[in-house]
Amino acid sequence: MNSKENSDWKACWGILWRSFVFMPYMFTVFIVVGSIWLGRLVLPVCTAMLLYSGEWSLAVVTVAFWLLTMWSYRYFRLSRFFECPPFLL
């Protein structure tokens, strides 16, 4: 019985230390990929609202961020992360 409990604790410990090691990395990937996805959709709307309200300097900054987002989206080929999985049936 002691061997089973020891085996269970080893498995739990293995999951725990991997989560502490890889969680910051995966959180960073989530933030970067999520912000690029969000930036592709939200930044043009923000730019239009800023142009409409007459905030030209902020609109130029927003356009610069949008261009940076589009460049990184195409350069790093991030579109493959947003594709539907292949249909296997």
Per residue in 36-64, pLDDT (tens digit) is 778 888 889 999 999 999 999 999 999 99
Distance, in Å, from the CA atom of 15 to the CA atom of 5, rounded to the nearest integer, reads 16
Number of domains within the chain: 1
Q: What is the pLDDT of residue 54?
A: 93
Residue range of the domain that includes 32: 25-81
- For residue 58, being part of any structural domain is answered with yes
pTM: predicted TM-score of the whole model, two decimal places: 0.56
- For residue 70, being part of any structural domain is answered with yes
- For residue 40, being part of any structural domain is answered with yes
Q: What is the pLDDT of residue 3?
A: 62
Confidence band for 73, pLDDT divided at 50, 70 and 90: confident
63 class by beta-carbon count within 10 Å (0-12 exposed, 13-18 middle, 19+ buried): middle
- Kindly tell me if the per-residue pLDDT of 5 is higher than 80: no
Structure tokens at 36: 């690029």
- For residue 75, being part of any structural domain is answered with yes
Distance, in Å, from the CA atom of 1 to the CA atom of 4, rounded to the nearest integer, reads 5
Count Cβ atoms below 10 Å from residue 14 Cβ, excluding itself.
10
- For residue 55, being part of any structural domain is answered with yes
